[in-house]
Amino acid sequence: MEESKQCAACAPRSSRPPAQVSQAEFEELSDRVDAAEKHSVLDRIEFSGDMRVKADSLDYDNVTLVEPPMVPDGAGGYLMNMNPDGTYKRSKYNLDNDILYTTRLRLNMKRRSGTTSNSAAG
């Protein structure tokens, strides 16, 4: 009978000698695998964005300001700042703000669904 010979790659893992790979080869292979996996992941994700800048003009008439009940007197103490009947002092004024800028930035990340289906016709 002839003895059958197996190739080294077909041998069980425990009987194979460990592969010797240099650090440079390892780095190159690692970079290639990382690039392929990154490309695979990015193919399944869709990034988009939206930016809105808006300018508003505000004009308020007769805005009521309630003054604080106690104000510093300049000598380290406080003075009462209330009306004689015990209510808080109020003052009215007009508020004119020429331009109020607001900015909205939206970043979207969506998962793309696969277009292939694995269904067996039977």
Residue 84, SS3 per DSSP: coil
Residue 97: phi, psi to the nearest 5? -115, 115
Quick check: is 101 in a domain? yes
Quick check: is 6 in a domain? no
| pLDDT (tens place) for every residue of the chain, 122 residues total | 455 555 555 555 555 556 677 888 878 878 887 877 877 777 788 888 999 999 988 888 888 888 888 888 888 888 888 888 988 888 888 888 788 889 999 998 888 776 554 544 44
The CB-based long-range contact list for 63-66 (8 Å cut-off, 24+ gap) reads: 63/92, 63/93, 63/94, 63/95, 64/90, 64/91, 64/92, 65/90, 65/91, 65/92, 65/93, 66/90
Quick check: is 8 in a domain? no
Q: What is the pLDDT of residue 106?
A: 93
Quick check: is 69 in a domain? yes
Number of domains into which the chain is organized: 1
Quick check: is 31 in a domain? no
103 touches 55 (CB < 8 A):
no
Return d(Cα 8, Cα 12) in angstroms, integer: 9
Q: Residue 67 belongs to what domain range?
A: 48-111
14-45: b or e for each residue (b if 16 or more CB lie within 10 Å)? eeeeeeeeeeeeeeeeeeeeeeeeeeeeeeee
Q: Whole-model pTM?
A: 0.31
Q: What is the pLDDT of residue 117?
A: 46
Q: What is the pLDDT of residue 18?
A: 61
